[in-house]
Structure 1
């Protein structure tokens, strides 16, 4: 993939861009095998991604001025490097960014200046669905700009006909955190359909969905294939997000429960289950607390934790629970290796690297464990 920003040294986020893609895959596969070197398992060939146009979301820092806004990344010193033509974004997302820059000017949204701590608009967050619909979020310091956003929303919808959901997130504090707790939905619709294979999933403004829709679909498909022959009657999807694994693993005669700390994600997952008729239910809460407080263990547990992994408490519970199978989806092989070391009775029988984040050192690893 060729990138003008990279060549001009304006953005070096894609640290492996100069490495041929086949070598990137081999490097990640070797990295995962090395991290799990003490754990014998059968490794599938790594799953490749599209090399460009694969990111379904853009998290753009806003800088510059009302008349000449910049949408991109924060550079050392506080200036914003505009990245509207980043080749990583899906076409629908990429096509929306220039229009959103015009909207900043039309609605007179003052970009937030990190150095002076003045201004209103901090970020514009855009997510594209597999069908090309869009969810757009404006992260603001206060509600001062909300009336103007409402006033110009018809103009924005006319320019972006596939715009489905628009919201404002209030983030009043000066911090490196991306968003605040309060969300104001400005459109009739609050859910963005994210169809993956035969399953219609939904995303709310504060929900989480995998960054690479192509690889997310493969991840859920592999989970269903790898567990198809397992005789589970009860399954848990811990750190379930919007319910991707639970919705794909539910089948007649099974009880599937998803647990996620984000109430927004749980609401989206519940809507997906109701819309598709899938027999899965979802709860908002801490995954470890849920497991430790449960009276009985299920036949299958899926864990898809953040980079820190599942931690000693949950790993210890899984080790002693008697759960016959665990499906672990990891975005960080070092925490995966640490967690597997704490569960010696659960041995990996199958593993695969999925390249969720091309041109970087990051990737997803799926591992099936059997007691």
Structure 2
């Protein structure tokens, strides 16, 4: 993939830009193989490496997280340079075509509504970030991250024009972030449209995404992860499954099947509300509850557990809980093979049987790896 922004050195976020895609994918597999070698190279190891799942090398991102710079009359949507000036990246090639097409009308809306970009050094202005998410069917969720509610009346006044220009806009909100700190969004969300969830339809499952809820950046690869987990658990005929760090229920709802009991646990109450809505619509046997998966101290012996933790991994406490439980199967989806390796070392009785790399983030060193772990008899 060729990128004018990268070539001009105005954005270097995609660290592998310009590297042949096949070489990128091979490098990620080699990295995973190196870090997981202690579990795969031993004489007694019974591990199958499945072929990696490739992504489209461009136009794969379903999210645009754009810092707003410049002025209300000439806003930039992209990143900030070293001097905290706005760098416009509306033509970024890793964004989906739908996201790229929506950014110019959104920039024009910023001008019409006179939303003054936030000046970080001066600590002045209102509009900090524009967050845009696209569903598989092309619908959009738009979030304006604001310093205060001062501009809400102007946003509401001009919003009908934006909705007419971008009829694919399904959800629009204002997120309030009054603090001067390096975070993407605040805690208070103000809905500006009747719909408050974005329907994400993947295969035969519809997930409801609320503002602020986590969803994988690459929709096609996320669907591949869900399919793989379902395939493994169906093959093992797992009758009861727990999904820890379940988010909006992606894994749990995909593995739900007649005769299988599924339970999801997630610390985010809005995400659990979305998962329950999806389960009710689908009519599946899946229950969801708010809770800290990391702090679970006992597991009442489901057949299988799915874990999809943040980059820091499971941590010592949850690893110890899983290690001492009677759970026979763990499906571990990891975005950080280094923390995955630490967790595997803390769960010696749960041994890798199958491993597969999923290229969630082309043009970067990052990737997802899924491991099927099964309890050793010895």
Query: Scaled by the length of structure 1, what TM-score is found?
Result: 0.98
Deviates more, 1:229-238 or 1:327-336: 229-238
Partner residue of 2:371 out of 356, 360, 367: 367
Q: Does 1:278 align with 2:284?
A: yes
Report the counterpart of residue 346 of structure 1 in structure 2.
Answer: 350
Q: Is the 8 A contact 1:332 1:364 kept in 2?
A: yes
1:314-352 residue CA offsets vs partner (Å, 9 max, x unmatched): 001100001000000000000000000000000000000
Shift of 1:233: 2.2
Report the counterpart of residue 311 of structure 2 in structure 1.
Answer: 307
Q: CA RMSD in A?
A: 0.9
Report the secondary structure of 2:352's partner residue. Answer: strand
Structure 1 CA distance for aligned equivalents of residues 163 and 293 of structure 2? 39
Shift of 1:232: 2.1
Report the secondary structure of 1:66's partner residue. Answer: coil
Report the secondary structure of 1:38's partner residue. Answer: helix
Q: Does 1:12 align with 2:12?
A: yes
Partner residue of 1:173 out of 160, 165, 179: 179
Report the secondary structure of 2:37's partner residue. Answer: coil
Report the counterpart of residue 164 of structure 1 in structure 2.
Answer: 170
Deviates more, 1:249-258 or 1:166-175: 249-258
| Residue correspondence of structure 1 range 99-138 to structure 2 within 5 A | 99-138=105-144
Structure 2 CA distance for aligned equivalents of residues 191 and 152 of structure 1? 22
Structure 2 CA distance for aligned equivalents of residues 238 and 326 of structure 1? 11
Report the counterpart of residue 274 of structure 2 in structure 1.
Answer: 268
Structure 1 CA distance for aligned equivalents of residues 76 and 125 of structure 2? 14
Shift of 1:293: 4.7
Shift of 1:139: 0.4
Q: Is the 8 A contact 1:135 1:192 kept in 2?
A: yes
Question: Aligned residues, how many?
Answer: 369
Q: Is the 8 A contact 2:333 2:371 kept in 1?
A: yes
Report the secondary structure of 1:126's partner residue. Answer: strand
Report the secondary structure of 1:282's partner residue. Answer: strand
Report the counterpart of residue 322 of structure 1 in structure 2.
Answer: 326
Structure 1 CA distance for aligned equivalents of residues 130 and 184 of structure 2? 10
Report the counterpart of residue 338 of structure 2 in structure 1.
Answer: 334
Report the counterpart of residue 33 of structure 1 in structure 2.
Answer: 33
Structure 2 CA distance for aligned equivalents of residues 44 and 293 of structure 1? 32
Structure 2 CA distance for aligned equivalents of residues 332 and 149 of structure 1? 39
Report the counterpart of residue 297 of structure 2 in structure 1.
Answer: 292
Q: Which runs of 5+ in 2 are unaligned?
A: 41-46
Structure 2 CA distance for aligned equivalents of residues 343 and 43 of structure 1? 20
| Residue correspondence of structure 1 range 79-118 to structure 2 within 5 A | 79-118=85-124
| Residue correspondence of structure 1 range 201-220 to structure 2 within 5 A | 201-220=207-226
Report the counterpart of residue 55 of structure 1 in structure 2.
Answer: 61
Shift of 1:206: 1.4
